Amino acid sequence: MTEDEHRGWYAALKSKDARFDGRFFVGVSSTGIYCRPVCRARLPKEENCTFYSTAAEAEQAGYRPCLICRPELAPGRSITDAKSSLVRRATRLLEENCGSGLSLDTLAGRLGCTDRHLRRVFGEEYGVTPVQYVQTMRLLLAKSLLTDTNLSATEVAMTAGFGSLRRFNDLFKKHYRMSPTALRKQTINNRRHEEIRLSLGYRPPYRWNEMLNFFAGRAISGVEVVRDDAYYRTAHFISSKSEHLRGWIKVGNNEKKNALSLSLSPNLLTVLPQILARVRHLFDLYCVPDVVAEALQSMNNLNSGLFKEGIRVPGCFDAFEMCVRTVLGQQITVKAAGTLAARLAKALGEPLAEPLCEPRAEPLCEPRAEPLEVDGLTHTFPTPEALLALGNELENRLGSLGIISARARTIRELARTFVDGSIDYSSSAHPEKEMEKLLALPGIGNWSAHYIAMRAMGWPDAFLETDYGVKKALEPYLESTAPRQVRELSESWRPWRSYATVALWNSLAHS
């Protein structure tokens, strides 16, 4: 790092600007601690500071995390922070699978490269190996669980992916110079409820109301609900032991701390890293708002306030559910598509056995054996395997729900691609490559492919020039809203056209 770069990073640290949160960490040689740039502690002297691009790099240099600013709560790295597309995809995949025990060779295979190549590019980008990166993620997740939950040390170790309590204790003491028990005694936390509660940081501003309105308008009854300024949904996972886990999550907003609050049912604890990754993707927590705003401020030349900083692109929690919802919404209203999706979930989904019980003065509800409707959450959405298992009966079953044969056939083909893995719908995918495969499926056109890429794969540059809402929002500013004219206008908004699309949709809601 040059002297000028060091001065620039120190100036960013001195500003305490939340826009830099998660984009770098600072190691302080006088204390042996590393911090986020928003730390409330006394500003260290410039000569005592060393700057790192990741928490893993700071820990490998021998620093331990600050107990005040808690580096484990920093927002994730934006796609703009990684020079290599492979590294960006790898970090997302490592985050989701840090507790699964998957080998580096397996993860590299899913990325289409060798483990040797992955180690090389990862080291060039972040200064650490993928294994070191994962180890830091596990330690920071464990630190968060020790601070914010009432889980035992053994449960923390298993959830964070250490495999054994002894290994967890040894690594924690080695890196953080204290035992897990000592950390728990030092921290003030909110362990007053039995449910699991964690925080996920974001970079402000965050237009929370717009995000909730989007989800509320598309919520699948019985699976999702928006109420009391929070988002609730059911969740289904298959554990590493092939167990089917069904439960619920709740996501709220703590604007004062620039963080989302996540609660989940205790039976989902073993898949916590996957849930954290999906919630980050669902609520677009990797976004760097000022970078997006710089590219899209030109939208306000059309109309003042058309683009508002802090817009997020809604992702998805369950890619198959979102894809089916997309197909059901073709050529019909959003409300009608929601009705069909709710029928499908109720008819072919699995009931939620345990109720969602909000913490109140009285004790938590006792679990019941029979399915119980609580707060509008009754079922998990059917899996692709469940739909394919219906075989030739699938069209008839969907037809009885009001889903036409053409849509049923498209849903079956989508389910097949999920089961055989022929299309990668994850946020670590190559969107352009996967869209080509999507377009080869019956019933999937350009609009559907781009919409799926935007929400399932997290592609920031998807654009829906044929979308009714996009054309309606642009109608006052263009002589013609023919796809070619709309597409030409959008060229200046690259590579953030997904955000431009959401901004146009939001403008209709505001008006």
Of the candidates 35, 69, 316, 323, the residue annotated as catalytic is 35
Residue 102 and residue 389: Cα distance in Å, rounded?
Answer: 28
Q: Taking a C-beta distance cutoff of 8 angstroms, is the pair 192, 297 a contact?
A: no
Tokens 């059917």 correspond to 382
φ and ψ at 83, to 5 degrees?
Answer: -75, -30
Burial of 475 (0-12, 13-18, 19+ CB in 10 A): exposed
Give the pairing type, strands 259-264 and 379-380.
unpaired
Residue 159 and residue 271: Cα distance in Å, rounded?
Answer: 7
Q: Taking a C-beta distance cutoff of 8 angstroms, is the pair 67, 31 a contact?
A: no
Nearest to 134 by CA among 155, 163, 177: 163
Rounded alpha-carbon distances, angstroms, from residue 414 to 402, 463, 476: 19, 22, 37
Instruction: Identify residue 130 by its one-letter amino acid code.
Output: P
Contacts of 482 by beta carbon, 8 Å cutoff, 6+ apart: none
Residue 160 and residue 143: Cα distance in Å, rounded?
Answer: 9
Of the candidates 148, 424, 461, 467, the residue annotated as catalytic is 467
Q: Is 465 helix (H, G, I), strand (E, B) or coil?
A: coil
Nearest to 127 by CA among 54, 74, 72, 63: 54
Tokens 């299309």 correspond to 423
Task: Look up 81 and say whether it is catalytic.
Answer: no
DSSP per position, 317-362: S-HHHHHHHHHHTTTS-HHHHHHHHHHHHHHHSEEP-S------SS
Task: Look up 170 and say whether it is catalytic.
Answer: no
Q: Is 482 helix (H, G, I), strand (E, B) or coil?
A: coil
Q: Taking a C-beta distance cutoff of 8 angstroms, is the pair 144, 261 a contact?
A: no
Residue 176 and residue 188: Cα distance in Å, rounded?
Answer: 18
Instruction: Identify residue 296 by its one-letter amino acid code.
Output: L
Length of the chain as a residue count: 511
Sheet holding 224-227, edge to edge: 196-201, 259-264, 244-254, 230-238, 224-227
DSSP 393: G
* Residues designated as active site: 35, 467
